[in-house]
């Protein structure tokens, strides 16, 4: 486990030592050190996120003003208003799901997750309580990762994303969001309306916003890595630096100069292996 307040972190973080069964799933364990302030933001990224809280309390507020506590799920690009209200000595296992995997895990519910957060109790009834109890009973993070990996593998056995939607998502990810929706529709032989409808239903965002989210994700991590905003804007397909500024404000409510200090971004290289995304046993949450 690692990372203390002296190096910019607020939590102890554990990562799996072994690769999981299903490509497109990444996991990390978090334990609060008692110094997490209320009001910290969860920065959007191109993955659906499950937060499995099995110790302590996390209470959050989403973009609609709805308040939730306990284990929850957020969709892609959940908006700048998702922030914590209360944090008390929590332990949680965070799972990032590629959109292609998330549809198998969540089914049609994925279409209702834009700009919101849903408790797992509301989504799955009594199952989350049993899941959290099981995680709390296990004594090590490796046991929790293995148990959650097996549970997710069982849920991924059905409801795959259609091949056409999967191709469109992979192309968006491979081009870092720098692709026109019209080009995707033409390549598939679909109308723009058909692509929008199928993509929204199975990925959770319309394709144009999904592309903006992927582009934002690469850009904001470039800023965290210390690159200059003008160079990132040019390399990432933004019209200019002001365009980059507007996108970061839209996704986070923060300026490019302040977003780089956010704790949620500071853990990415530890918990998720950004930017290499190649750490053994901690696969990227996309684009598989």
Which range has the top average pLDDT, 212-221, 256-265, 279-288?
Answer: 212-221
| 191-242 pLDDT per residue, tens | 999 999 999 999 989 999 999 999 999 999 999 888 999 999 999 989 899 9
pLDDT digits (tens, 9 = 90+) for 38-85: 677 778 888 898 889 888 777 777 766 777 777 888 888 765 557 776
Beta strand spans in 7-114 (E):
11-14, 25-32, 48-61, 67-69, 72-74, 83-97
- Cβ neighbours of residue 288 closer than 8 Å, sequence gap 6 or more: 23, 24, 98, 100, 101
pLDDT of residue 278: 40
What secondary structure does DSSP assign to 221-240, as a single string? HHHHTT--HHHHHHHTT-SS
Q: Which of 89-93, 253-257, 275-279, 281-285 has the lowest mean pLDDT?
A: 281-285
Residue 26 has what pLDDT? 92
Phi-psi region at 198: left, alpha or beta (left = phi > 0; alpha = psi -120 to 50)? alpha
| C-alpha–C-alpha distance, residues 172 and 82, integer Å | 25
pLDDT value of residue 262 = 82
Confidence (pLDDT) at 206: 92
Q: Give CA 190 to chain center in angstroms.
A: 28
Q: pLDDT-derived band of residue 5, with 50, 70 and 90 as boundaries? A: very low
Reported as a pLDDT band with limits 50, 70 and 90, residue 28 is: very high
- What domains, with CATH codes, occur in the chain? 5-159+263-271 (2.60.120.10), 163-259 (1.10.10.60)
Judged against a pLDDT cut of 70, whether residue 2 lies above it is answered with no
pTM: 0.85
pLDDT for position 88: 74
pLDDT band at residue 287 using 50, 70 and 90 as cut-offs: very low
Q: Do residues 15 and 28 lie in contact, with contact meaning Cβ atoms separated by under 8 Å?
A: yes
Question: Is residue 38 packed enough to be buried (19+ CB in 10 Å), middle (13-18) or exposed (0-12)?
Answer: exposed
How confident is residue 116, by pLDDT bands cut at 50, 70 and 90?
confident
Query: What's the pLDDT tens digit per position in 133-188?
Result: 888 899 899 999 999 999 999 888 767 789 999 999 999 999 999 999 999 999 99
């Amino acid at each position: 486990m690692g990372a203390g307040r002296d190096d910019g972190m607020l939590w102890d973080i554990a990562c799996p030592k072994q690769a999981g069964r299903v490509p497109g799933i990444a996991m990390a364990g978090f334990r609060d050190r008692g110094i997490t302030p209320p009001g910290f933001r969860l920065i959007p990224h191109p993955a659906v996120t499950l937060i499995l809280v099995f110790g302590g309390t996390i209470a959050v507020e989403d973009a609609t003003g709805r308040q939730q506590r306990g284990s929850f799920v957020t969709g892609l690009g959940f908006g700048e208003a998702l922030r914590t209200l209360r944090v008390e000595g929590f332990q949680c296992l965070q799972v990032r799901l590629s959109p292609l995997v998330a549809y198998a895990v969540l089914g049609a519910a994925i279409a209702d997750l834009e700009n919101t957060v849903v408790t797992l109790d509301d989504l799955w009834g009594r199952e989350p309580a049993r899941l959290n109890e099981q995680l709390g009973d296990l004594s090590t993070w490796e046991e929790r990762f293995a148990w959650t990996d097996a549970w997710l593998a069982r849920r991924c056995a059905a409801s795959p994303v259609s091949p056409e939607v999967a191709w469109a998502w992979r192309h968006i990810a491979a081009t870092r969001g720098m692709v026109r929706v019209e080009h995707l529709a033409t390549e598939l032989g679909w109308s723009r309306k058909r692509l929008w409808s199928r993509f929204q239903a199975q990925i959770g965002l319309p394709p144009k916003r999904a592309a903006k989210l992927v582009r934002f994700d690469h850009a904001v991590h470039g800023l965290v890595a210390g690159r200059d905003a003008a160079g990132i804007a040019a390399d990432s397909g933004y019209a200019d630096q002001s365009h980059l500024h507007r996108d970061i404000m839209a996704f986070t409510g923060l300026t490019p100069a302040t977003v780089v200090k956010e704790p949620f971004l500071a853990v990415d290289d530890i918990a998720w292996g950004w930017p290499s995304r190649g750490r053994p046993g901690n696969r990227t949450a996309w684009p598989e």
